[in-house]
Structure 1
Amino acid sequence: MRKTDVQTASDREIMMQTCVRAEGRDLSECGNDSSGMADAQWWRSSVVYQIYPKSFADSDGDGVGDLRGVIGKLDYLQWLGVNVIWLSPFFVSPMVDNGYDIADYYHVDPLFGTNEDFDELVRQAHARGIRVLCDLVINHCSDQHEWFKKACNDPFSDEHGYFIIRHKNQLNNWRSVFGGSVWEPMPGNPDEYYMHVFAKEQPDLNWENPRLRHELYRMINYWLDHGVDGFRVDAITYIKKDQRFESFPADGPDGLVGVAVGSSNQPGIGAFLTEMRQEVFDRRGCLTVAEASDVPYEQLRDYAGPDGFFSMIFEFHYQDPYVDPDNLAWYAVRPWSVEEWKALVFKAQREQQRLGVWSPTHLECHDSARSISRLLPEATYESVTMLATLFFLLRGTPFIYQGQELGMGNATIDDIDQFDDVFTHDQYRVALEAGLSEQDAFRVVSFRSRDNARTPMQWTPGEHAGFTEGQPWLPINRDWQKTNVEVESDDDTSVLWYYKRLIALRMDPRWSSSLSEGLCTPVFEQKENVVAYDRVGADGSVVRVLCNFQHESVSVSLDDKIRVLLSNVGREGTLSGDTLMLEPYEAIVLA
């Protein structure tokens, strides 16, 4: 995706002057122990790039991305300016849930390479000043894990106690996230059932068992010993279950109730999370970023405050404004307005600041549809870069998902059988059961499917978008010939180059007091469809961000913020006058 107006030469000069990342700094000798508060919180001034290894880059032509493919693209990531990468799971897995069903925590799946490939990736990343985060999936494992096999074969084994297992006469009416009962018969023992919050191939681990917990801590330390700088912690609020395992009033025609009612952010979870932090994370000084759903604002400080369980916690209160909070089925899409959504964004910022909480700022991840398809009525250069600016400069650590920096939109898949995601197929069934036609059911799951974010990364305008020499495991998006790294990196008026400028600005030491550590103060809140805020540094510096979230021009007062730091419509230098007429979908950053 490219811009219609040409960016100025002076803008490019500013970008080059401010691109001050850790380029050339070798982190290979850096340990995981913290050395002072500033170093312990290095992540507050970082930019994180999420990699979905299966879809990032294929080095061996089998149609599936791998770790050596990631190694081959580290120079690109260094050029872009990010200084942290987060790798979605690459461990041994039957891939029922694309790697989030782990069968061996200690080994790289042959699909992605070897443990030696991972060690090389860490070395190569550190040599470029890029830190490495791994996904930590410890609410559940795969039913192919050796622990679960032993639990099935021997009810008196230690491993039997690693899982949540109940007699068939003791089951409740909880519904799994992926549909159906959370209870599944134990293979070989029809009188016993195991619990699974997600797919039936993902048995939940029993965190009440101290032996199991310390097995997990040992595994975490193993990867820290291999140079990992931290973890994104998956589905962590589900590890504590209400031990009464009571049934609750049904919330659907199937007679079941959503599993969260008895297994998400339950009382007592803090004891588990405190123990894990003290036993592992505090001792190693690593970054932890929790996926923690169902955490109300009043509990955020416990999770990600100065003495919280984690370094950061993902904010989900405003991610998908079209989702009906009373009906999480994908077909239940509700109308929303920019004003409503703006209020949610600023409420999150105010609450985090009030509580001293730190969070990622993010638009996309492997579990969501593409942001420009979810949040924009039309995807143009201006609207895409406006949305990027709005999120990237909020208080928090920016996270970019692969392809987001190119302006990739939702997938172009024509048939339900082409979707790989287990959740997509479940929601297609739910929509049909709710009475939708096959056409309408396909339309809603196409909009929400997690596979929208999982189509292969688009590197070139050539065959298979340069992702692979073989047949890609998911179809390539049809926009690959114009939306790809090769085309956009050669065009400094592209979305890719705009993201590069955003990263450079975020890391510019001249504005770090404001953009890295400063407070976020909303301005022009009454100006309809304008999302605007000041980032106010402790040194008194102020950076103002103005985003016109509409296809109409609108005027705002200038005050004394007249120096243009970044613009998506070609403005430069200094502005004069008392007012500024923002163009449709304009984003401008002033100081």
Structure 2
Amino acid sequence: MEEIMNKNTMTGMMKKGWWKDAVVYQIYPKSFRDTNGDGIGDLPGIIQKLPYLKELGVNVLWLCPVYCSPMDDGGYDISDYYHIHPMFGTDADMDALIEKADEMGMKVLMDLVVNHTSDEHAWFQEALNHPESKYADYYIFRETEDGNPPNNWRSYFGGSAWERVGDSSRFYLHAFSKKQPDLNWENEELREEIYKMINYWLDKGLGGFRIDAICNIKKKMEYGIFPPDGEDGLRYIGDWILNQPGIEDFLRELNEKTFKPHNSMTVAEANVPPALLDRFIGEDGFFSMVFDFSYTDIDVPDTGEWFKPRHFTIKELREKIFKSQEHVQNMGWGAVYLENHDQNRSVNKYLPDEDIHYYSKTMLASLFLFLRGTPFIYQGQEIGMENIRMESMEDYDDLATHGQYARALKAGLSETEAFDIVVKRSRDNSRTPMQWNQSRNAGFSDADKTWIKVNKNYTAINAEQEENDKSSVLNFYRGLIRLRQDSPYSHILVHGKFVPYDAENDNVIAYERVSDDLGILTFHNFQDQNAEITIPEGYAEKIAGNYTGRCPENNRYCLRPYECIAFYKDR
């Protein structure tokens, strides 16, 4: 990214498509660094750790929501878009973060949540208290004659997607929590309010947004009882609100009135069918990039019921990654990632518990940092943070986790079986405090009690300890980021074409990055045993790997357990 002199000149000075050269670091502010001793992370804590992030090599910071919110769903239920929640600091702290990050060559992204608001937002309170006001049409209300919900849609978090207003026959739609009423994007005045808010932040110098749940904003409203797809008698709401015809008009208008004039980086949480990718991320697409869930949700059934985990093979994982890479590069630009605030830790998802160690963790790092697209690193991923095993359901904060646990019990699982699944897949696995050092609370906070438990393994896995170890997961990440950002291979790794490579082993994922006459070939061994591979002629120079020593012999190479290695050739 080009260095910006100050936030007021940012828009005109950054080159088009600057986000292709970026490496993004996602921050869950509540769990990053607490500076006031209340057990909750804050904006001054992020400012304090900017040198650490600069040293890591990232140049874009994505913050999960820090707006005013009742925090029913971790801040994704916004009650005031224009102000910072006091638990995170002040509006001035947010301004300072944007400015100080700019000075260090980093841009800040905020989360943009405009499918819904909190039920405590002033608009919704007006809609409840004055049903005849304009604000009632900012949301989706329906009256029924029989006093029952308008249909049997299931919200993403479980339970009916309709909530009764008091003891009336009036209901409002919520695709997520009942405290997150869906906005009515058919209302032009509402849309203009949203655009005004977005431009307020972009005018401050914000680099852009990660856009939450955006593919739900167009609804196909139908009523009645539909054939249920679960034991609860309800039907998955996504069939009526995901990527519905007409959503393109909303997204085009959104881009034209906000993101495009500011040259913003936008990454949408949008599960886009391949046929629509060009509209979303093409030359004149609605967004800079979208996330692809096909390989990060590989362990989740299509219905989203992660309490019914599906098993997968490394061959299937390889196929999904390859398919994603090829589709996206034919249409535009992508965002690549292994974990985020909605995922469990990637090392626990993709690796057997008994094989989680330095080699397997660095192999995963190599797998995704060599892919084509802007890489997103989630806080703690760079030090190899792992899932936490809570002691009981009372320790879990996440709404979706409690919803899935209840549905698992309803489906006939025992409490022990349901809890074991929660331990494996809960979103709280990624929301535990960042592990900075071996001191109390992992150096995250001086509080007697943190908002959520600290993982007990912090004495073995923490940033300070890995800083001083040249052979640590942290320093491996730093090396790969430097390779991508500032090396003779940077152009290939950023702009080169993705080309699948057949490693002739179902537990090895290999691919090439090719640009003009240059190429990089990388291998990733997903098993605790050796694997013989063939190195094509010309690929003689090793540029990265998590083992030392050993060179190819006669175009053959024996990958060691969980080894990753990358070769370069000048074609």
Q: Is the TM value for this pair above 0.5?
A: yes
Quote the residue 1:4 is aligned against.
none
Instruction: Pick one of 511, 517, 528 that aligns with 1:540.
Output: 517
Q: 1:365 aligns with which of 329, 333, 340?
A: 340
Work out whether 1:238 is the aligned partner of 2:216: yes
Answer yes or no: is the 8 Å Cα contact 2:4–2:13 preserved in 1. Answer: no
Query: 2:161 matched to which residue of 1?
Result: 182
- Residues of 2 paired with 1:399 and 1:430: CA distance? 31
Which of 68, 71, 78 lines up with 1:92 in the alignment? 68
User: Is contact 2:71–2:77 with CA below 8 Å preserved after alignment?
Assistant: yes
Quote the residue 2:407 is aligned against. 430
The residue type paired with residue 374 of structure 1 is K
Answer yes or no: is the 8 Å Cα contact 1:34–1:40 preserved in 2.
Answer: no
Question: Which of structures 1 and 2 has the larger relative contact order (alpha carbons within 8 angstroms, sep 6+)?
Answer: 1
Q: Distance in 2 between matches of 1:321 and 1:368?
A: 11
Number of residue equivalences = 561
C-alpha displacement of 1:142: 0.2
- Secondary structure of 1:31's counterpart equals helix
Question: Which residue identity lines up with residue 154 of structure 2 in the other structure?
Answer: R
Report the Cα distance in structure 2 between the residues aligned to 1:35 and 1:118, rounded to whole angstroms. 22
TM-score, with structure 2 as normaliser: 0.96
Moved more, 520-529 or 303-312: 520-529
Paired letter, 1:404:
Q
Contact 1:459 / 1:486 at 8 angstroms: preserved in 2? yes
**Aligned residue number for residue 151 of structure 1:** 127
Segment of structure 1 superposing worse, 70-79 or 328-337? 328-337
How far 1:525 sits from its partner (Å)? 4.5
Specify every segment of 5 or more residues in structure 2 that has no aligned partner in the other structure, as ranges. Answer: none
Aligned partners of 1:499 and 1:88: how far apart in 2?
22
- What's the CA shift for 1:577? 3.6
Matches within 5 A, 1:205-284: 205-245=183-223, 247-284=225-262
SS of the equivalent of 2:450 reads: coil
Equivalent residue for 1:554? 531
Written as runs of structure 1 = structure 2, the 5 A alignment for 1:27-106 is 27-29=5-7, 31-34=9-12, 39-106=15-82
Match status 1:287 vs 2:255: no
Q: Is the 8 A contact 1:32 1:286 kept in 2?
A: no
> Which deviates further from its counterpart, 155-164 or 68-77?
155-164
Answer yes or no: is the 8 Å Cα contact 1:81–1:504 preserved in 2. Answer: yes
Q: 1:208 to 1:434 in 2, by over 3 A?
A: same
1:467 corresponds to: 444
CA distance in 2: counterparts of 1:157 and 1:166, whole angstroms: 15
Q: Which moved more, 1:501-510 or 1:95-104?
A: 501-510
Partner of 1:128: 104
Deviation at 1:34, TM superposition (A): 5.0
Contact 1:92 1:102 in 2 (8 A): yes
Distance 1:483 1:535 in 2: 32
The question of 1:330 aligning with 2:309 is answered: no
Could you say which residue in structure 2 is the equivalent of 1:514? 492
The one-character-per-residue Cα deviations of 1:320-347 (angstroms, maximum 9, x if unpaired) are 322223x432221122111111111111
Regions of 4+ moved over 4 Å: none
1:414 equivalent in alignment to 2:391: yes
1:570 Cα shift? 1.8
Residue 149 of structure 1 aligns to a residue in which SS? helix
- The answer to whether the 8 A contact 1:330-1:431 is kept is no
Q: In structure 2, how many angstroms separate the alpha carbons of the residues matched to 1:247 and 1:589?
A: 55
3-state SS, counterpart of residue 334 of structure 1 = coil
State the AA in 2 paired with 1:185. R
CA contact (8 A) 1:513 1:541 kept: no
- Give the partner amino acid of 2:493: L
Answer whether contact 1:358 1:396 (CA < 8 A) is retained.
Answer: yes
Q: Secondary structure at the match of 2:226?
A: coil
CA distance in structure 1 between the partners assigned to 2:89 and 2:130 by the alignment: 33
Stretch of structure 1 that moved more, 297-306 or 242-251: 242-251
CA distance in 2, matches of 1:466, 1:27: 33
Q: Does the alignment pair 1:171 with 2:145?
A: no
In structure 1, distance between residues paired with 2:221 and 2:397? 35
Deviation at 1:83, TM superposition (A): 0.4
Please report how far the alpha carbon of residue 400 of structure 1 lies from its aligned counterpart in structure 2 after TM superposition: 0.1
Number of the residue aligned with 1:342: 318
Q: CA deviation at 1:575?
A: 5.2
Contact 2:498/2:514 (<8 A) preserved: yes
Structure 2 CA distance for aligned equivalents of residues 314 and 234 of structure 1 = 11
1: distance between equivalents of 2:46 and 2:309?
A: 36
Q: What is the CA–CA distance in structure 2 between the aligned matches of 1:507 and 1:111, rounded to whole Å?
A: 35
- Residue 590 of structure 1 and its aligned partner are, at CA, apart by 1.1
Mapped to 2, the partners of 1:275 and 1:26 lie a distance apart of 28
Q: Distance in 2 between matches of 1:452 and 1:157?
A: 43
Q: Is the 8 A contact 2:151 2:223 kept in 1?
A: yes
Distance 1:185 1:138 in 2: 22
Indicate conservation of the 8 Å contact 2:497/2:514, yes or no. yes
Shift of 1:511: 1.3
Shift of 1:253: 2.7
Residues in 1 aligned to 2:84 and 2:361: alpha-carbon distance in whole angstroms: 36
Q: What is residue 111 of structure 1 aligned with on the other side? A: 87
Question: Offset of 1:513 from its aligned partner?
Answer: 2.5
In structure 2, the CA distance between the partners of 1:246 and 1:28, relative to structure 1 (3 Å rule), is farther
Deviations 1:432-466 (A, max 9, x none): 11111111110001111000000000001010000
In the alignment, structure 1 segments of 5+ residues that lack a partner are 1-20
Distance in 2 of aligned mates of 1:525 and 1:297: 26
**Do structure 1's residue 528 and structure 2's residue 503 form an aligned pair?**
no
Distance of aligned partners of 1:353 and 1:332 in 2 relative to their CA distance in 1, 3 Å threshold: same
Q: Aligned equivalents of 2:527 and 2:511: distance in 1? A: 17
Could you tell me how far apart the structure 1 residues matched to 2:485 and 2:517 are? 18
Cα deviation, residue 29, structure 1: 4.2
1:493 aligns with 471
CA distance in 1, matches of 2:388, 2:110: 26
* Selected match of 1:403 from 380, 383, 387: 380
Matches of 1:508 and 1:530, distance apart in 2: 28
Q: Which moved more, 1:575-584 or 1:273-282?
A: 575-584
**Structure 1 residue 200: Cα displacement:** 0.1
> Taking every aligned residue pair, what percent have the same amino acid on both sides?
46
Contact 2:115 2:214 in 1 (8 A): yes
- 2:518 alignment partner AA: S
Within 1, Cα distance between the matches of 2:66 and 2:329?
A: 35
For residues 175-197 of structure 1, the C-alpha deviation after alignment (integer angstroms, 9 at most, x for no partner) is 1011111111224x612111000
- Output the amino acid matched with 1:299: L
1:582 aligns with 2:559: yes
